[in-house]
A and B are shown apart, each in its own frame.
Chain A
Amino acid sequence: MRRGFMHWSQQELPPAALDARVARLQSVMRTQGLGAVLTYASFAQPAPLQWLCNYIPYWSEAVLVVWPEGPPTMLVAGTPRTHGWIRSVSHMGELVAAPKPGARAAEILASKLSAQALVGVIGLDSLPWTTAEPLLAAGWGPRLVDATAAYISVRHPGDDAEHAMARTARAIAEHAIAAIPATARKSSEVLAALDGAARLAGAEEVLPRIAPDLGLSATLLRIEGDQELGSRYAVDCSMAYKGVWVRVVQSVTGGEQPALWGDAKTWFDHLLPKVGGSRSMADLVATAPAEVTHWALEASIGVAPLSVVASSNWPSEQVLPPNSLAVFSVQLALSDGLWLRSAPLRLGAGALAKASAEPVTA
């Protein structure tokens, strides 16, 4: 529910990069004979719309209409008073005030497309009913097709701009975890240090979780109120930097780091370059120095910022091209307790390199 720093730096994400993303989608649209592609966004479903035009509805909803040629049209539920700000943080063609984006989308499609035109929808199944209903009521139902696969086919491996921002995001997340005081005994101390440090360094959004006592459980919790921490706990700094999400999970101890944690980290660090390579994930995790109680590989393959590509419970792997941005997470049952770690990576290329500019703290 919380939205922080929002900004579009044209140095970090040049308009040409966004134009190129749209052009890649348009190329597939023309191949598939789609008259338009729609993508809906709230801040819970921001990914495709943000990737195409850098807009994230901090509140309310938006629908982006991508045409086979030319710049996309964006329909936003907010008032026209916010259009100046929206223009300052995003890149599109026409910007239309649409209190009911689905209804307005139906009108715009009718004004521009033939009665037989097919319209792709990224994340068609998950399109919220308030947006979908007016499209169906206007007769578009039979001509709506799922464009998620078309989107994913052009989404990865991402461009230089996205990779650079992911490196910055990783650096901010690690900086935020490093800001946790060694003396922290309560979750509130950890979360205050983490959240404050991340936002001061430029994080747009932070979704922190804590496994308060690794002696009891490895489940990462959303904390309401406060919890006492065990001598070993884990912290998840899932966060966005200008729309690019990473997840960094680390196990933490206030005292001396257990020897087995060093072995586990060495294994994890050596594993990262192999993730997304020729060996299956099952083979890779079989090399762990202890029982792997859970693993997951996530990437931006849907409407949410990160979705599961494969996991220990669901090993079938969606094929993404080398260098695609992803997050690998693992849980080990070491002989002296549980250990968690997550890190962003490029498939087949390993951990993200250090950001060229480390986060700045005021």
Chain B
Amino acid sequence: MSKALQRQRSGRLREAMSLAGLDVLVVAGDAWRSDYFRYAIDVTPMEGLALAVVWRDGATQVFVENPAEASRIAAEQPMLEVSWGPAPMAQVEAVLAALGPERLGLAPSHVLPLRLAKGPGGATIAATTAMLDNLMVRKSAEEADVVARAVRLADEGYAVFRQAARVGRREYEVVADLEAWFRSQGCPENFMIMGSGGQEVRSMHPPGERVLQAGDLVTTELTPCLEGYYTQICRTLVLGQPTPLQIRSHAVYVEAMEAGIAKVKPGATQGEVAKALNDVFRAHGLGEYITSAYTRVRGHGLGLYVDGPHVLEDVTLVLEANMTLIVHPNTYHPDVGYIVLGDAVRVTETGCEVLTRTPRELFACP
């Protein structure tokens, strides 16, 4: 990540701490929820629990469970004071025990371990997590620029996926080709799930042993990462020529996604985006298939985490310029099975910019 963006995030964090009256911030992270940790100190934990003690007006201390992690983090960010031990929580407790009148905040609630939550600052977890959430959702233009640049990986990655998905290959073999390509591009992380089959398929999952068959619908959600920021693309292909029924069904998803994207602008809510998208399904008599029995969310935020504020009809988050999200009407279609389609978008001052360049097609693959 550029030093300028690192300084910008550090400045925003310290300004937020000042506004919240915090002198010291303890941030926890692990390989699953690395986002808060990455925002605060620009480090992505790989193994074990990582804890950072961020002083508003001083050096940051990092405590990890593994000596290799400690060496790595110290090499990546030489300004950090990194140490390791079998009980990093005890090391943080020792730091906190030596605090004087400093005001302390702990976050995030998703990772923060019980042992620390029961100690000093435990009452601040919800508010401190919300403080960091606010920083991460309301991105600077420079952060949104990184998400926009990451979209190249998603578009080109999907082209690699299309080449790899062939009759006779197993799902995990397809993914091996794709992950190797992401590595060749210097992309360190990718969250992906997929599905393959026909009308019986109702969701996506990690790649398995299933052998791809002629006529399969093959769905995927690729989520590559650039400098810590994730983007996403969702597309569906057919192994062979799509049937008229598959083409007609897919057209509903294109119409829905375009209706949702048309609502993305400053001042609109995530809920309004979801409603626009869902209304298309309702108009086609498919209202049953936008419920939780068949689908999860109609999109979500994109940033240092692959998920984020969800696009659902009851979500009141008001969109602002430089927020980044994916709009995806992914759900089961009773005639043909599970279909996914999703484009990444960036909220602009007047509307939104569609970042994804891959055509909104039901692709036919040999």
Contacts and interface: CB of A to CB of B under 8 A. Distances in A.
Contact of B203 (A85, A193, A217, A223): A85
A59 interface: yes
Contacts of A202: 172
A58 B203 CA distance: 14
Contacts of A80: 293
A5 B175 contact: yes
Interface in B193-209: 193, 202-203, 205-209
Contacts of A270: none
B48 A307 contact: yes
B67 A192 contact: no
A42 B172 CA distance: 21
Nearest to B70: A313
A44 B30 contact: yes
A6 B85 CA distance: 32
A168 B102 CA distance: 52
A267 to B, nearest CB: 21
A196 B89 contact: no
Most chain B Cβ neighbours within 10 Å, of A6, A43, A329? A6
Contact of A59 (B44, B114, B186, B191): B191
Interface string B150-164: 000000000000000
Interface stretch (A11-19, A119-127, A252-260, A344-352): A119-127
A304 B179 contact: no
B84 A313 contact: yes
B139 interface: no
B180 interface: yes
B357 interface: no
Nearest to A202: B172
Contact of B76 (A45, A192, A221): A221
Nearest to B173: A362
Nearest to B332: A81
Contacts of A294: 67
Contact of B176 (A133, A199, A305): A199
B123 to A, nearest CB: 12
Contacts of A296: 67-68
A2 B190 contact: yes
A222 B190 contact: no
Contacts, number: 194
Contact of B292 (A79, A194, A206, A208): A79
Contact of A308 (B46, B66, B76, B111): B66
Given A81-B203, A314-B85, A219 B75 contact: yes
B327 interface: no
B208 A5 contact: yes
A200 B183 CA distance: 14
Interface residues of A, number: 68
A142 interface: no
Most chain B Cβ neighbours within 10 Å, of A4, A44, A206, A207? A44
B208 A7 contact: yes
Contact of A85 (B32, B33, B84, B205): B205
A144 B42 CA distance: 35
Interface string B208-245: 11000000000000000101100000000000000000
A130 B126 CA distance: 10
Interface string A78-103: 01111011000000000000000000
A314 B84 CA distance: 10
Interface string A128-140: 1110110000000
A306 interface: yes
A157 B78 CA distance: 39
Contact of B114 (A127, A196, A226): A127
B24 to A, nearest CB: 18
Most chain A Cβ neighbours within 10 Å, of B30, B44, B89, B114? B114
A222 B68 contact: no
A52 B227 CA distance: 36
B363 interface: no
Contacts of B45: 44
A167 to B, nearest CB: 20
Interface in B1-19: 1
Interface string B303-334: 00010000000000000000000000000000
Given A5-B206, A6-B207, A192 B46 contact: no
A222 B32 contact: no
Contacts of A308: 65-67, 86
Given A5-B172, A6-B205, A222 B46 contact: yes
Given A58-B193, A199-B179, A125 B72 contact: no
A298 to B, nearest CB: 8
B179 A195 contact: yes
Interface of B: 1, 30-34, 44-49, 65-68, 71-72, 74-76, 84-86, 89, 109-115, 117, 125, 169-173, 175-177, 179-181, 183-186, 188-193, 202-203, 205-209, 225, 227-228, 292-294, 296, 306
Given A6-B205, A188-B185, A307-B66, 15 more contacts: A2-B190, A5-B172, A5-B207, A6-B207, A45-B32, A79-B296, A125-B114, A128-B114, A129-B109, A188-B184, A192-B184, A196-B176, A196-B183, A220-B68, A307-B48
12 contacts: A2-B191, A6-B205, A6-B206, A129-B109, A195-B176, A199-B176, A206-B179, A219-B72, A221-B75, A222-B188, A304-B65, A362-B173
